[in-house]
Structures are given as C-alpha cells and as structure tokens.
A and B are shown apart, each in its own frame.
Chain A
Amino acid sequence: MSTTSALPDTGTSPLPTVDPRRVGDRVFGGLAAGSGIMILVILAMVAAFLLVQGGPALFADPAKLASQGYGEFASWVAPYAFGTVWAAVLALAMAVPVAIGIALFITHYAPRRMAAPLGYLIDLLAAVPSVVFGLWGADLLSRSVRGLYGWLNDNLGFIPLFSGQVSGTGRTILTAAVVLAVMVLPIITSLSREVFLQTPRLHEEAALALGATRWEMIKMAVLPFARPGLVAAIMLGLGRALGETMAVTMVLSGGKNITFQVLTSDNPNTIAATIAQNFPEAFGLKTNQLIAAGLVLFAITLAVNTVARWIVSRRAEYSGAN
C-alpha cells in the first residue's frame, strides 16, 4: 500500500477545512525538502565561491601574477597537479593489493567469529586523524626508510623509478605515498569486504564441488563477481588519496620538478600540501591563486568520485545476486 500519500480524504467528515495538523505536515515536509535543497546549494556554493575567489588569479595578467602571485597559473599549478596524481597513484599501487588481501583474509580465511573484530581493527586505522599520520610519517617513518632508500638506489638504481640522487632526509614522495597508502587502506578494505561478502554462496559452492582449492574458488567465483565493486572501491580510495593534505604537507619536502624518480629530494609537491603550506602567509593575489589551485583539485577529485559512484550505481542495477 502507499504510505506516502497524506491522510485519506474524508469528504463528509466534520473536520475543519484547514486542519492545523495539515499545516504541521506542510511545514515539516517543507523543512525536510529545504534541507535537501540546502545541500545542493552548499555544493553549488563551494564551486561558485572557489570560482569567485580563485577567478582573479585564473584570469589575471601573467605579469601581475609574476610580481604579486606565484607566477603564471598553468605552469605554476602543473607540477603540483602532477605531484598530486603521482603520489596518489603510488599510494594506490601499494594499498590496493594489501587491501584486497586483508578483505579476503577477513571474509574467506579468518574464522567466521573473528570477522567482525578484525574488520573493526582495520577500521581503527581510518579513525586515526590525518595529522597524527603526518607526524608519524615525518618523525618516524622518514627516518627509518633512509637505509632502505639508499639500498634501493644502490642496487636497483637502473630502474628509472629508483634512480637519481637519493634524498638524505627520507622525506620523499615515496614516503608520503606510503603514509597515503596506510590512510586509504581502510577505505578500500571495507568496501572490498562488503562486495566479497555478497558473493553468492551458490557460486562458491559450485566451484568447491568441482574440486577447486580455496584460492581457485576465490579466482573462479569471488573475484569475477566482485570486479566492478573493487573498481569502485579503488576509485574512492583514489579520491581520498588525491585530496589528503596533512600527511603530504608534513612528510614531503616538495619542490616543483616534474619527475618520476621517487627517492630524490626534488619531488613535486601536491596541490593540497601547497595550499596548506602557503595559505597562512598568503595575502591578496596569492590567496586567490591558492584558491584557484583548490578549484583544480576539486575538479580532479569530483571527476574521480563521480566515475566511482557511477560504477557503484550501475552495479546495483545489474547485480541481481543469484
């Protein structure tokens, strides 16, 4: 039955024409719809105000930007945009296999009773504030990886990734990416866990009944079923890694050099970290320029997240799990 329609119209009843309770209905319904619309307005405002405040830098004369800002916009922001994407990609390359491994461990290897507590343990990682991860990465991790980086550079330096003059501080883009990887790990894990748990038992049993080992069953029934969900999980992790600020701000001593070398002290900074580091001292056109950079970051993450959500919703339509 339809529960959303209002009270049945009791034509002959002696109710007053304007029932005060109906007014209540209208007000409350209006409030609820208004709140929803408010959210749309806020999001539109986020884009609009960034445009308004970033606009002066976007459309300013390059000569003026050179003297009062940080220099011509496109060439200024390009290395940071590269650094943002590069750090996020490195982080995902490390986090994705581990996250899928953890999700499989929790759903298909650990005893059933342990699944919830173990999942909670991984979720704790998501609860640690980013500034704490930043402190951890800057104060501890970057010091402990120096030896490893030297070794990688000495022995695997022929790989372009590990070539170049190795950084003495350990505060390279690779270290930042490791911290980012730790931070996106719980996001990817919890979503993968969910899709792994949705694998129909029927398919798992079909594989086992054919004489598949546990790993063969996972390859045959679980992973193919989960693939679209995993893609979405990875995209959401990517969105988080692109926008994460503090870990990179505190760990990476970034520059402006577009390079794929991950061990040098000359790595490109990320957009978010550039804003965080410069905003407190910025004024005038510099502030506008940093906000414009934020707009670029917003556009990148918006695109990534939209694609991820689109994949998720498409999957929901076609899953029909049986």
Chain B
Amino acid sequence: MSNAFLKIRNLSAQLHDGTPILRAVSLNLNPGEVHGLVGESGAGKSMIGKAVLGTLPHAIKITSGEIWLDGENLLTLPTAIWRKRIGARAALIPQDPLTALNPSRRIGPQITNRLVDILGWRRADAQTRALDLLAEVHIPDPERVMRAYPHELSGGMRQRILIASAFAAEPDMIIADEPTTALDVVVQKQILHLIRDMQQRHGTALLFVTHDLGVVSKTCQSLSILYAGRVVEETDIHSFFNGPAHAYSAALLAATPKYTAPTGSLKPVPQSVIDAVQGEIAAFDRLGRGGA
C-alpha cells in the first residue's frame, strides 16, 4: 500500500454551519488500480472526489487531513497550484453528461483546449489526438462531432466524449463520479464496458464513485464503503463479496436485489446497524448541488 500514488489521510470536511460532510476519511489509490467508492446518497462519496480535485462547493470547507499526490500534500498548496498539479495528473468523468459540456462551445475545442492549455501541445497535434480518441470511444464520424454543439448529441454520445476527453491528456488517475447514473441501463452497460476497456488499455488508476454494488463487482479491484462521511471499510473486492468485515457493509450487500430471487431478497439496511455506525447523514437540503 505504500506505493499508492494518491493517499488520503484523515480528511474531514464540513458545511459552514458545522455539519460534518467527511469524517476522517482515509484511502489509497495505487497506480493502475480501480478503486470503488460506494455509499448511499449523502454518504459523501462525490465529495471525496471533489475534495481531491479542489472543486468542492463554496459552502463546504476542509477542516483537517492530508491529500498526498506524489509525495506532496495538496492541502498545503495554494488553490491555483493545487489545481495545476492535479490537472496535470488527474481528470474527471462527471456524473451528468448533460451539464458537463459547455453548451455554447463546440465539442472540438472543449477536448483540445485542455491539451493545449495544460500540456502545451500544438493545436494540430491536439486535434489529431482528439479525433483518435473519439474514434477509440466508438463515435461515428468524429470530424463532424468535433464541430457539433453539445445539444446536438445524445446523452450517451456526450458521456463518450467526456470519457475521451478525460483520457486525452493520458492522466495517471481518473475520478469517475457516478458516470452512468444519468443514462439508461443499456447505455450504462456500454459506458461501463468502455470505461473499463479504456482504463485497461491506458493503465490509468480509476477512483470509481458509485452507489451500485453490481457495477463495483464488475469494475473494481478494491473498494471503500462510506457511510455518513466515514469510511467504514476499505478492502479488496474478493474479500468484500466473500464476507464483508463491517456490519454495515454486510447489510448493504444483503440489500442488493438479486435476479434469482426477485421479491424475497430485498432487505433494507437494519436500523440497528445504522445506529451502530454513529453519525447521521446530513439532511438533503443542506447538501450542496450534486448531493452525495
């Protein structure tokens, strides 16, 4: 675990009225690894991703903890430098493809600007690279898509573009924030395949935020279970599905519907377990936009 290139140590964050959002969260992301971040809505899983990227909502402040990237604690850096460091190494696949592309700009520049601005590529090279990547995520007629505006494309297409865009600068790490939640099941499956495929081909580490254990079982090598802003369990995928250590994880696993027994198997997480985890989920209306 010591060679992890992203290390989060005891990260705590709260709303300005003191409501805790994250409580002493620690996790590791090794090079090339896919790590799942699982929890209910409001558990704080998206907030971990946002904290790493330095894009937390205004209302949420980090109170303590460390985020180590390559032996450098990001939290000690000024925001501008923090974003520069993380921008060169990490990328984001956002939750909602409909709001993640600027509606008034064409697709092409939205992919290439990143390469030109951060990595100092020549515009022509960036253009070629973008076309290659669009082809790699199975977009028909990339030339035309590059000239299109986001509203001219479907949700699935836009999510593919965002995936291509995330891989464009060959980052070492990608944070995928519920990348399939806004899509229907068929497209979900394609997008999941695509992300895993791209991840394996490019050898990128992936922090995969999701509430779907089914997705985790197919995608991740290790995972952290979050509840009320606290990591209740960090483990590898096999030991988790063969018998989670924490009572909440076990209850969460038991609550997953199974195709083999469609009606009888739906079990809510018991109240006794929730009480045992100490701490409540922040009320929905007090969370920033994007919830979770």
The answer to whether A and B belong to the same complex is no
